[in-house]
Amino acid sequence: MLLAIDIGNTNIVLGVFEGTALGRNWRLATARERTADELGLMVSDLLERAKIALPAIDGVVLASVVPQLTGPMIEMSTRYLGLTPLNVEPGIDLGMPNLYAHPSEVGADRLVNGIAAFEAYGRGRGEPLVVLDFGTATTFDAISATGEYLGGVICPGIQISADALFQRAARLPRIDVRKPAHVIGRTTVTSMQSGLFFGYVGMVEGLVHRLREELGGKAFCVATGGLAEVIAPETNVVDAVDRDLTLQGLRIVWERNRA
């Protein structure tokens, strides 16, 4: 069994693979101050509740965009699982050419998303891909028809935008991001919800359209992340939603490097 760990700014997502099949998976809040022991107890408890014995895990792969947690997570794996994890970082074999001007600047999650999307939706299709990830930041990544990572777009996440409105405008309340019944808001809260939700949908549509133009007029769009299943039904620019894309990408990278 393979334990895949995606450490994001808002959530830590863990998944256990048996072969290529994703079995159990969990989404936990990211707490930057967690120690290796806290992480070890957390992972041990999750596996025990899923009736997975610790010795059954024979590989660990992780991608992290939170440097404060990368070291503790590696230490946790070594001490509690007896395994040195494969950390997706510059220098390992991804099996995907990285054409970024400074390749080391690309987040590990963006790369593994691109790898998984190309294998699941791009290989043999003959057209480029746009990979859309709704996380703390919303990222758009462009993958060529031959499987090269080209670059992309980084935008503030929708919750960051909502928090900024509350913090910077004295008379605006803090709100939950949700789809309102109408575009025209009749209260301050519904007006803010309309601007955030439908404004975000419009941003997604505009950027995907521009990316497709730059990629030759056509590209298959895959969405993942917490809000993918909420935003995707509101637009026709998203061709597929894959909530497990990052974990699948980690599995693929592990298989390419397990020797």
Q: List, for residues 11-43, the tens digit of each pLDDT value.
A: 999 999 999 999 999 999 999 999 999 999 999
Same-domain pairing of 147 and 58: no
3-state secondary structure of 108: helix
Same-domain pairing of 34 and 148: no
Residue tagged active-site, from 6, 58, 109, 163 = 109
Question: CB pairs under 8 A, 24+ apart, for 161-164?
Answer: 161/196, 161/200, 162/192, 162/196
* 2 contacts 17 by C-beta, under 8 angstroms: yes
pLDDT at 259: 64
Same-domain pairing of 114 and 207: yes
> Is residue 257 in some structural domain?
no
Q: Among 63, 87, 111, which residue terminates a domain?
A: 87
Q: List, for residues 88-111, the tens digit of each pLDDT value.
A: 988 888 999 999 999 989 989 999
* Least confident interval from 144-148, 195-199, 205-209: 195-199
pLDDT surpasses 80 at 171? no
Query: In 208-228, which positions are buried (b, 16+ CB within 10 angstroms) versus exposed (e)?
Result: beebbeebeeebbbbbbbbbb
Same-domain pairing of 79 and 108: no
> Is residue 258 in some structural domain?
no
> Is residue 233 in some structural domain?
yes
> Is residue 97 in some structural domain?
no
| Helical packing angle, 108-117 and 245-257, nearest 10° | 90
Same-domain pairing of 128 and 67: no
- Can you read off the two tokens belonging to residue 2? 């393979």
Same-domain pairing of 44 and 108: no
Q: Please indicate whether residue 37 is annotated as part of the active site.
A: no
Q: Which domain holds residue 11?
A: 2-87
99 Cβ partners below 8 Å, 6+ apart? 148, 149, 150, 151
Same-domain pairing of 114 and 239: yes
Same-domain pairing of 170 and 55: no
Same-domain pairing of 112 and 239: yes
pLDDT at 251: 96
What CATH number did the domain enclosing 26 receive?
3.30.420.40
- Angular region, 17: left φ>0, alpha ψ -120 to 50, beta rest: beta
Q: Among 27, 61, 87, which residue terminates a domain?
A: 87
pTM of the full predicted structure? 0.90
Q: Among 87, 111, 132, which residue terminates a domain?
A: 87
> Is residue 203 in some structural domain?
yes
pLDDT at 92: 86
Same-domain pairing of 140 and 215: yes
Cα separation, 87 vs 253, in Å, equals 10
Same-domain pairing of 9 and 58: yes
Cα separation, 149 vs 132, in Å, equals 14
Percent of the chain at pLDDT > 90 equals 75
pLDDT at 162: 81
* Least confident interval from 56-60, 124-128, 156-160, 204-208: 156-160
Q: List, for residues 199-255, the tens digit of each pLDDT value.
A: 999 999 999 999 999 999 999 999 998 889 888 999 999 999 999 999 999 999 999
* 98 contacts 187 by C-beta, under 8 angstroms: no
* 132 contacts 239 by C-beta, under 8 angstroms: no
Q: List, for residues 46-72, the tens digit of each pLDDT value.
A: 999 999 999 999 999 999 999 999 999
Same-domain pairing of 71 and 110: no
